[in-house]
Amino acid sequence: MPELPEVETTRRGIAPHLLGQRVSQVLVRERRLRWPIPGDLDVRLSGQRIQAVERRAKYLLVQAEVGCLIAHLGMSGSLRLVDAATPAGLHEHVDIVLESGQALRYHDPRRFGAMLWSLAPLEHELLSRLGPEPLTDAFDGERLYQLSRGRRMAVKPFIMDNAVVVGVGNIYASEALFAAGIDPRREAGSISRARYRVLASEIKRILAYAIERGGTTLRDFVGGDGKPGYFQQELFVYGRSGEACHQCAGILREVRLGQRASVFCARCQR
C-alpha cells in the first residue's frame, strides 16, 4: 500500500502540471471504488481552475475554485499524467482532462482507493480526526511520551495509529523502530521520554529521506511521473525476515503485531 512518502512523491510529481489548469472534463469509467465516485463529479469539477494540490496524511487534496477532490490511492492505486488522447488501459478508471491536453489518470487494479468531493475537505469525516503530520513541529517525542502513558499495546501499532501521528505505515514504522533501537513488541507505555525523542527524530529523518528517494517500490508503486521509488533498496528490516541484520549480522525475526508482519533484530532492538 502506498504510504506517506509515496503519496507525497505523487503530489510533487503531479502538482506542477495541475496548478493553474482548468479542468475540461472528468471521465469516469468505473465508479465502484472503496466508496462510489460521486455521480456528479464531472459537473462539479469541470470548468474549474485548480488552485492547489496538497496532502493530508495519505490523502491528496486537489483544491478547485469551489470544492476539493479528495483522492486516496488505496492498496494499488496510482495517478499519472498522460496525453488525454492516450487510450485507457485496464484498471484505468478516471481521467481528469485538463485544458493543456493532458489528463490526470487514475489506475487502481484492486479498486480500494477513493475519489470524493467536499466543500470543506479538512472537516470531512475521513480527515477531521487525524493526528499531526510527522514532518511538522506538532509531532515530537513529547507527544509520543504523553499519549503512550498507561498504554499496554505494542509500540509499533501505537505509532501507526493515525490519531497519534499520520502516515507512519508498516514500512516506515519498522524502519524507524530499528533505527531507534526499540523492540516493536515493547509496551508503548513502558518506553521512556528520552527513547521517544529518539524515535520521533528517526521517524522524521526516515520519512524525509524516503520522500527524497521517491518512496518505496513494493509491487507496482510508481510516482506521478511514472518512475519507481528507490527507498526499497535501502531497507534495514522491512521484508527481510530470515536475512542477516546489516548492523550486527544476527538473523532478523518476524512476528505479527496488530495483524501486520513486523521484522526486527532481537540483538539491536530492546
Q: What percent of the chain has pLDDT over 70?
A: 93
| Confidence check: pLDDT of 165 > 90 | yes
Options 3.20.190.10, 1.10.10.10, 3.40.190.10, 3.40.50.150; which CATH number does 4-123 get? 3.20.190.10
Residues annotated as part of the active site: 2-3, 58, 260
User: pTM of the predicted model, to two decimals?
Assistant: 0.89
pLDDT value of residue 215: 65
Known binding residue 32? Answer is no
The tens digit of pLDDT for each residue in 188-208 reads: 999 999 999 999 999 999 999
The CA distance from 169 to 205, in Å, is 15
Q: What are the residue boundaries of the structural domains of the chain, listed by start?
A: 4-123, 141-264
| Confidence check: pLDDT of 224 > 60 | no
Known binding residue 107? Answer is no
The CA distance from 157 to 160, in Å, is 5
Residue 256 CA: distances (Å) to CA of 66, 185, 241, 259: 45, 9, 12, 6
The tens digit of pLDDT for each residue in 211-220 reads: 988 865 433 4
Options 1.10.8.50, 3.10.20.740, 2.40.430.10, 3.30.450.20; which CATH number does 141-264 get? 1.10.8.50
Known binding residue 151? Answer is yes
